Amino acid sequence: MTDSTPLPPVSPPGHRGPPDHERRQQIIQAAEAHFRHYGFGKTTVADLARAIGLSTAYIYKFFDSKRAIGEAVCSLVLSRVLDRARAIAAESGPAAQRLRRLFTAMAEISLEQYFHERRLHDMAVTACTDRWQSVADYDQRLQAILSTLIRDGRDSGEFEGRTPLEETSLAITLAMASFLHPLILEERRDQALSDAALLAGLVLRSLAP
């Protein structure tokens, strides 16, 4: 046991077999391509197996269910969104301005997905409706990004510091659902950007010192 041996990574729920395995990456890759093109529901595990050149039984050595594959792909896609959110939140300039830009960008990314990646959007709907773990994880990570941004604002004196940070960031994450939840986004797509701006305004007023 040398000092350079990392601890074994904790596998996400639904993962089987060794966490770092080429076949798993191939499955996720094939799954992402198929889900983007055909949608989650229309893609069969057999399609994925065929695309890789395996049997469906072998797929189940790596994921315990079709849903687990969906969760893995969903996590991957959402982590790209979060990377962009993190980048915006980490920009220089007033925290309030960054928060506005974050709200607008999140709305734009979601609309882009709705209009140009409809199958991925529909998969997001399924993930929310069926309460996939990847959605809960995403919410937590978004909240962490907001916490960091708010802490910046507090440090610079832009934002109030009385309310517990956890409560503030949780409430803001929650409020963001009113324009980011995929089903609401679908219903209110024509107003999504103005909704985002309105809510950013309300949130910034709530953060005012």
Partner DNA sequence: CGAGTGACGATATTGTCAATTCGTCACAAA
Partner DNA sequence: TTTGTGACGAATTGACAATATCGTCACTCG
Binding site for a copy of itself (CB under 8 A): 128-129, 131, 160, 163, 167-168, 170-172, 174-179, 181, 183-184, 187, 195, 198-199, 201-203, 205-208
Closer residue to DNA, CB minimum distance, 133 or 148: 133
**Residue 23 touches which of a copy of itself, DNA, none (Cβ within 5-8 Å per kind):** DNA
Closer residue to DNA, CB minimum distance, 46 or 174: 46
Among 34, 67, 100, 119, binds DNA (CB under 7 A): 67
3-state secondary structure string, the chain? Answer: CCCCCCCCCCCCCCECCCCCCHHHHHHHHHHHHHHHHHCCCCCCHHHHHHHHCCCHHHHCCCECCHHHHHHHHHHHHHHHHHHHHHHHHCCCCCHHHHHHHHHHHHHHHHHHHHHHCHHHHHHHHHHHHCCCHHHHHHHHHHHHHHHHHHHHHHHCCCCCCCCCHHHHHHHHHHHHHHHHCHHHHHHCHHHHHHHHHHHHHHHHHHHCC
**Residue 209 touches which of DNA, a copy of itself, none (Cβ within 5-8 Å per kind):** none
Closer residue to a copy of itself, CB minimum distance, 27 or 95: 95
What is the smallest separation between the CB atom of 30 and DNA, expressed in angstroms?
13
